[in-house]
Structure 1
Amino acid sequence: MDKSMLLEMQPFSYFASKRDLRQSINERVRKLRNRLTPSTLCVLDVLRLRSMKVLGVAYLKIETIIALTKVSRASVERAIRKLEQEGIIKRIFTSRKTGLQGANIYYFLPLNDGVELTGLDKPKTPDKSKVEAPKLESNTGVFNTPKRSKETKKNNVNRTRLVKDSSVIPSYIPKDFAKLIQQGFSCGRVIKQFWSKMVMFKNITGWTRNENVLPIATDAWEYTKNEYKRDKKEWELDRFLKCFYGTMKRIEEKRVEEYAAMWK
């Protein structure tokens, strides 16, 4: 593997030591063992073994994984999708100059799917004694999704990374709503997921497109935030989203009941 490729992989590494990487993977496997098939565990082990030069990052062709695991291509693809779905790894697709698919970058996410609460837990004044790794300085998302590295050479077309910067907040999301969720999450990808819950809520409850649902969203967010602070154990992003959406529905049900009572 050439030096330029190692430099390209470096921004995707979130582990300070091999011990940290092993502990993170072992904890994930312990929690998900009943949901991971033997072939998926084989693929996971290959990615782990090949992610030691740049901690937590592997650069492999599908064919190489097939040869090392000795399982079918379909099983390898299924295993990779499963590991992505469970928040253990992320895959970055690459392509060659010819347009054909090249080797892919696979990187392990930290525990909790890389979700980092930017405002609910962290002190306002950062601890200067803790040295932050340079790779995190440019990250803006709670998933710690790395920004695309600048091309070292303008004519370098051997490897084209097909990846979007998921830290950017989509323009169609109202600024007030984005600002609300940014109290806890700064990544555009996560804010988009909360907005999707809002759109689903409006569709199910019959609110029109132009009606302002921000007051309900604000109340639901405050409730979700307080629930998290009361019991922080096992709070992953999925639980935030479910609590936020469920609370909006309960607020709406209560509002409808109150209106109905007025006409009795």
Structure 2
Amino acid sequence: MKSGRIEQFSHLSEFRTVKEFNQSIAVTLDIHGHHFTKGELIAFTHLTRFSVKVIGVCNARICKLVQACQTTKGGISRSTFERMLRKARNLGILSNHRTKREKGGYSHSVYVFHHFDTSNTQQLKQQHMDEKPDHTWAKPRKFQAETNYIKTKTLHNKDLRKRPLKELSLNELDSSFTPTYIPKKFVKAVKPFFNRTTEICKLWNQTQIAYRCARFPSQTPITSLHDVIVKALKVTVYQYKKCKIKTSFHQYYYGTLYNLFTYEKRKVCAKEMNWGAWLTN
């Protein structure tokens, strides 16, 4: 890829409007924000501000981005910015492309943000406002917001006939309205605990993120890992019932699922490489 003006990288953008981009960033920070330090969050915020001319794409040099961060709370170092980029790439938030000069040698990088599901943006923002960090380890908190997730309201077809369709909100739709791209096995496993479409979609979105971050080989599709996904869900529900979760239900589920996916990937790689065969010879 040759270096040049930002307009020539417009084909890399995954967003149509700035509003859509901002909503995707809000979902991203709600899921992965705890992975970043304060300095890294400052760097992340400034990178998003430089990614508006071509929505979700930035071709500014790191030195310029670091200089722009100096006006915010004392600024950050170049190493902090580079550490933020490594974390963001590993979490699947963005990818970077190296560009080359016409006369040879590498030039600036192009940073491309990836699209996250924003169907639950309003619900995520409300949850983020309700939850406050609690460092009292002796008495774990009971999250009222998560309790409302378990006790869901079912909207039947007869209710649809009684009320005008424009008056219905997205949060009122039950599991029967779940999009077809979500596997039926997953919906069946989640339904006893989360019966609203928005909640099922959010859990499936986190499942896909964990699967992408684990970087399974192409011959291992996400549908083949159904048992692992159900195991992570049951572990999370069990810990939630015991009041052992100190963050949120969804964050704990993502962390548990990612760890299980990592373990499964090691097994797959070991099988492909026939690792340990020398022990039997």
TM-score range, shorter chain: 0.3 to 0.5
TM-score, structure 1 as length reference: 0.45
TM-score, structure 2 as length reference: 0.43
- Greater helix content: 2
